[in-house]
Structure 1
Amino acid sequence: MKILTTLAIVLLAALPAHAAERGAKVNFVLKCAGCHLNDGTGMPASGIPDFVGKVGVFAAVPEGRAYLLHVPGVIGSSLSDAQIADVLNYIMDTWAGESLPADYVPFDAAEVRDLRLQDIGNAVKYRRVVVEKLEAMGLSAADYPWP
């Protein structure tokens, strides 16, 4: 009986984390996979960057983190700040691979709220600024064909 009680406690403790991950995956499919595809590869020929092994570099600098909050699919997603944080963390955990900084700090609802309030102007132009900063640090982002 003690073993069953311990097992039940362990399983119940794991439920919130598992539910958050499942919710993030569902929200990714509903809000992001239309462009970035279910496997994160995007559609580079159509201007949709590949996440796989590349998206993590944006988490390396504050400007990159802000950029991620202003891509059209995020800023217009109608998800809550907490849901967006969960989706971004799901993306990082699933596809960033070695591009994820060693000192990566997961997104949280407060950071998402604050970054969404920043005025970055034109997201395409802002991305260029972020990529230049990353390149100066020896990091490279996925190709992005937008002018």
Structure 2
Amino acid sequence: MARAPLMLACLLAAAAPASGTEPTIPGVENPARARIDYMLKCQGCHQPDGTGNAVNTPPLKNEVARFLSVEGGRAFLVQVPGVASVDLGDERLAEVLNWTLHRFDSAHLPKGFRPYTAAEVARLRRTPLRLDRVERRNQLVSRFPE
């Protein structure tokens, strides 16, 4: 137990930006907290740089915001099992989703992007995808604009 404060301090230090301030990100009240949530809940599979792996974890880097350009893609990002079932409240999950979109794929954010809200996340995560997630992802990816 004595190591817990030290571990938390290390996590906070690793999450702190080099400049001392985080950039303003729409829909992200606390970018440092969103970064830590990503580190603790997402990067184990998606990797620190968002590249994922070719075996079982799709990349976020240069791809995740492309889902917002196809019908059903916005809901899909919340309904994939790892997102829908993560042990974060709806507000924190909306925040980490918005942070992730900006951090890993801001170039593909559509004009007029509306950040996820806690209410939207709460509604969408009630109907998570399960066995059909891979097929659904492939359908959405096939409709990405070139």
Asked whether the two chains share a fold, i.e. TM above 0.5, the reply is yes
Alignment match, 2:35: 25
Larger Rg over CA atoms: 1
Aligned to 1:82: 91
Q: Deviations over 1:5-53 (max 9, x none)?
A: xxxxxxxxx9xx986211111110111000111111111x223122121
Deviations 1:52-74 (A, max 9, x none): 21110112245111111122221
2:12 alignment partner in structure 1: none
Of the three residues 50, 75, 81, the one matched with 1:72 is: 81
Q: Using structure 1 for the length normalisation, give the TM-score.
A: 0.71
2:136 to 104, 120, 126: 126
Pairwise mapping of residues 1-147 of structure 1 onto structure 2 (< 5 A)?
Answer: 20-43=30-53, 45-118=54-127, 120=129, 122-132=132-142, 134-135=143-144, 138-139=145-146
CA distance in 1, matches of 2:29, 2:138: 36
**TM-align CA RMSD:** 2.4
The structural deviation recorded for 1:119 is 5.7
Determine the C-alpha separation between the residues in 1 that align with 2:92 and 2:28. 14
Indicate if the aligned counterparts of 1:35 and 1:42 stay in contact, CA closer than 8 A: yes
Change (3 A) 1:110 1:19: closer
TM-score in terms of structure 2 length: 0.72
What stretches of structure 1 of length at least 5 have no aligned partner?
1-13, 140-147
**Partners in 2 of 1:31 and 1:91 — Cα distance?**
12
**Does 51-60 or 23-32 show the bigger shift?**
51-60
* Paired amino acid for 1:53: N
Shift of 1:117: 2.4
Contact 1:54–1:97 at 8 Å: present in 2 too? Answer: no
In structure 1, C-alpha distance between the alignment counterparts of 2:28 and 2:136, rounded to whole Å: 35
- What is the number of residues matched between the two proteins? 121
